[in-house]
Structures are given as structure tokens and as C-alpha cells.
């Protein structure tokens, strides 16, 4: 057996030696893949990189891309207008928004109950600055309503903000700036104070607009994650 074959990768099923080829992913990042053309299974190697070691485990994870919109920055003086979670396995977006009846009753409790049910469907949640805002805000509101927020480690959490901050060098570390620079476009919408004020009164048009804005954000987050996922390490940090 030659030195080249010794260092080569073998198919896990067939045991044949494989030749690497370049695969352009949808995120426009070049990855070198080793796939058996006979049985279409991934290869195994003793010299795997960090991501090759964790890739099989990572690809089995169901990832949810989470974003919330709130009436303010502090959960003790604000509430959740809506949330959206985009799936990594399909184009489905789970979500819920508050209604005028909710504002007159239990506020965001119904929304949070549904959010907790949706979070249970995912192994990992990806946010943008979520470790400092989205997750603490949700946790605070859930505890206020006596709802069982996931325990630490029950769901893995990745905050893509810190990947952009420490792995890239941009003039501003926002999700919009990063995505526009890397792809040339972005779905994000901008709305003024009138929508927020009307939403707090239960205005349906304002609430629908904010919910649509939230869903656009998670679609953008999913696209940005697909580009940057292999620029960071595999983490088992919990929410």
C-alpha cells in the first residue's frame, strides 16, 4: 500500500479509497468533501480537521434560527411582541405574535407557551446577539409567567454575533452589515417609532408588520450562518 493510499480517506461502508473533490455549497464557501460515489456515504480519516471530527454529529442537529421583537429593552418593563424560528432542515418558519386580546389579558403568556413548545423541536438555537438579549428576555418573561424555561444545556445555543465580531473585521458588527457585505443583499426592513407605539395599543397592521420583520430577520440569520458556520468551533454551550 502506498503512502498516498495510507493517508487517503476510506469509505465507511465500501472501504475503498476516495479522491477529494471541491464542492461549492449554497453559501458560496469552498469545502473539500470526500464522498463515495458508489454508496454516497462520507469518508473517515484519522487526520480529520476540527469540523470533520464533529461534522457527522453537527449534521444530525436540528437547528432553529431564533429572533424576537419586544416592546422595550428590559423584560421587567416590556413584553414580547412576536418570535420567529426558521428551521435548518426546510424553509418552514415557526412563530407567533401577540394580539389585542392578549394585551388586555395575560399579555405575552400565550405567545411564550407556544414559543417553549416550538423550542423543544430543536437541538440547537442560533441567534444574533441573543446571549445578551433574546434569550435573557425570553427567560425573564417565562419566569415571570411561571413557565418552565429550558434548563441550561437542554438546548445548545450559538450566538453568531461573536463570530462576526471576532472572526471578521467590519465597520459595524450588525447582522445586516455582515450579510450585505458577504452576499450583496439582505431582507431586513426598517420601521420607525409609530409602529412600536401602535403595536403597544394592539394595532393589527403594526403587529403584522413587526412579525413580518421578525421572519425576515431569521431568514437572513440562516443565510449568514451557512456562510460563517465553519469559521467557528463546534460548541455545546447551552441557552
Neighbours of 137 (CB within 10 A): 20
pLDDT, tens digit, for every residue of 150-160?
A: 999 899 999 99
pLDDT, tens digit, for every residue of 39-64?
A: 555 554 444 566 566 666 667 789 99
Q: What is the predicted pLDDT for the residue at 107?
A: 93
Q: What are the C-alpha distances in Å from 70 to residues 34, 127, 181, 195?
A: 45, 15, 27, 12
| pLDDT band per the 50, 70, 90 thresholds, residue 196 | confident
Alpha helices in the chain (DSSP H): 3-7, 50-59, 100-104, 109-119, 134-144, 160-167, 175-183, 193-200, 204-228
Calculate mean pLDDT across residues 118-147.
96
pLDDT at 23 over 50: no
pLDDT at 104 over 70: yes
Q: Which residue has the higher pLDDT, 198 or 25?
A: 198
Q: Alpha-carbon distance 58 to 156, whole Å?
A: 11
Q: What is the predicted pLDDT for the residue at 188?
A: 85
Q: Alpha-carbon distance 31 to 21, whole Å?
A: 9
| pLDDT band per the 50, 70, 90 thresholds, residue 186 | confident
Q: What is the predicted pLDDT for the residue at 170?
A: 94
- For residues 163-187, one letter each, b for 16 or more C-beta atoms within 10 angstroms of the residue's C-beta and e for the rest, the string is bbeeeeeeeebebbebbeebeeebe
| pLDDT band per the 50, 70, 90 thresholds, residue 230 | confident
> Considering the chain, what percentage of its residues have pLDDT values greater than 70?
76
Calculate mean pLDDT across residues 162-177.
95
Q: What is the predicted pLDDT for the residue at 236?
A: 85
Calculate mean pLDDT across residues 82-106.
93
| pLDDT band per the 50, 70, 90 thresholds, residue 195 | confident
Mean pLDDT of the chain: 82
pTM: 0.77
pLDDT at 201 over 50: yes
What domains can you pick out in the chain, each with its CATH number? 1-43 (no CATH), 63-231 (3.30.420.10)
pLDDT at 132 over 90: yes
Amino acid at each position: 500500500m502506498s503512502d498516498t493510499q495510507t493517508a487517503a480517506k476510506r469509505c465507511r461502508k465500501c472501504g475503498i479509497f476516495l479522491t477529494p473533490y471541491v464542492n461549492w455549497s449554497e453559501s458560496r464557501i469552498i469545502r473539500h468533501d470526500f464522498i463515495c460515489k458508489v454508496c454516497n456515504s462520507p469518508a473517515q480519516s484519522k487526520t480529520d480537521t476540527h469540523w470533520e471530527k464533529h461534522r457527522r454529529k453537527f449534521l444530525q442537529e436540528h437547528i432553529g434560527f431564533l429572533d424576537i421583537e419586544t416592546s422595550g429593552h428590559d423584560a421587567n418593563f416590556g413584553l414580547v411582541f412576536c418570535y420567529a424560528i426558521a428551521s435548518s432542515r426546510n424553509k418552514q418558519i415557526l412563530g407567533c405574535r401577540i394580539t389585542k386580546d392578549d394585551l388586555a389579558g395575560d399579555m405575552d403568556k400565550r405567545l411564550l407557551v407556544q414559543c417553549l413548545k416550538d423550542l423543544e423541536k430543536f437541538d440547537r438555537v442560533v441567534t444574533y446577539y441573543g446571549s445578551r438579549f433574546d434569550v435573557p428576555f425570553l427567560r425573564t418573561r417565562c419566569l415571570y409567567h411561571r413557565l418552565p424555561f429550558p434548563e441550561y444545556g437542554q438546548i445548545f445555543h450559538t450566538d453568531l454575533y461573536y463570530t462576526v465580531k471576532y472572526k471578521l473585521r467590519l465597520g459595524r458588527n450588525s447582522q445586516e452589515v455582515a450579510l450585505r457585505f458577504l452576499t450583496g443583499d439582505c431582507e431586513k426592513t426598517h420601521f420607525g417609532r409609530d409602529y412600536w407605539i401602535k403595536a403597544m395599543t394592539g394595532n393589527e397592521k403594526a403587529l403584522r408588520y413587526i412579525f413580518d420583520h421578525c421572519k425576515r430577520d431569521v431568514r437572513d440569520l440562516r443565510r449568514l450562518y451557512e456562510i460563517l458556520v465553519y469559521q467557528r468551533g463546534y460548541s455545546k454551550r447551552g441557552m
